[in-house]
Chain A
Amino acid sequence: MDDLIVKTITRTVMPFIYLYGIYVILHGSISPGGSFAGGAIIGSAVVLYTLVFGLEKAELKMPNKIFNRKVEGLLCFILMAFVVIFMGHDVLKLREAGAYMIQVGEPVQAELLSLVTIGIGMKVAVTLISLFHTFIKEDKSSGDITSNDGPH
């Protein structure tokens, strides 16, 4: 996409989308949203970048190595489950283990819950990005086969 306006707006708006996604993830316990919606917002930001600037630049920004963060997000979630078990409660009963949902106006004291939501958000974002990049890449590699139909 060779449009100056689209490129400039994307470059300007991207940090704010990231910031909003991180905000939604970290404030999932007091405000609407949560880890799934926040992760989807962060993933959408990278998808926007890929659509505007092309796959080559996007892969410089999001190299394949970062797709392993998916595993780390899952490990973060599992680790929190085990932490709660070792503290002597049932699986992921965070409220019993001391990670309360925060009430509005109280100081933040739900660090355990934030760890879980960071893990889920990381996994959702990276899954979305890798799904889209895989789609685009397959399009490129199999371009010769489908060229008879004239892909746009």
Chain B
Amino acid sequence: MEILNIILVIFLIGCAIAVERTRDLLGAVIIFGAYSLTMAILWLILKAPDIALTEAAIGAGATTMLLIATISRTRRSEK
């Protein structure tokens, strides 16, 4: 369990850095979805299933959808 925790946290930090580094904005949104999913699993490990469910629904669902809608209105790649 400890090892899983460490792997997830490292993956979370990697995702956070990758979101900032990616030039392709649609790719950044997808990586952000992976970040939200990892965060939801971490909330579950921290024994907060309520927040985990909300994070999975809002972070991976609503935020991603709004960002994709925004990208569809503007450019896809960062200048």
Contacts and interface: CB of A to CB of B under 8 A. Distances in A.
Contacts of A51: 65, 68
B73 A44 contact: no
How would you classify the secondary structure of chain A's contact residues: helix, strand, loop or mixed? Answer: helix
Interface string A26-43: 000000111011001101
Contact of A135 (B49, B50, B54, B66): B66
Interface residues of A, number: 24
Contacts, number: 61
Nearest to B55: A37
Contacts of A37: 50, 53-54, 57-58
A44 B61 contact: yes
A8 interface: no
A100 interface: no
Interface string A113-141: 00000000000000010011001101100
B66 A132 contact: yes
A34 B66 contact: no
Interface of A: 24, 32-34, 36-37, 40-41, 43-44, 47, 51, 128, 131-132, 135-136, 138-139, 146, 149-152
Contacts of B73: 135, 138-139, 146, 151
A40 B61 CA distance: 8
A40 B57 contact: yes
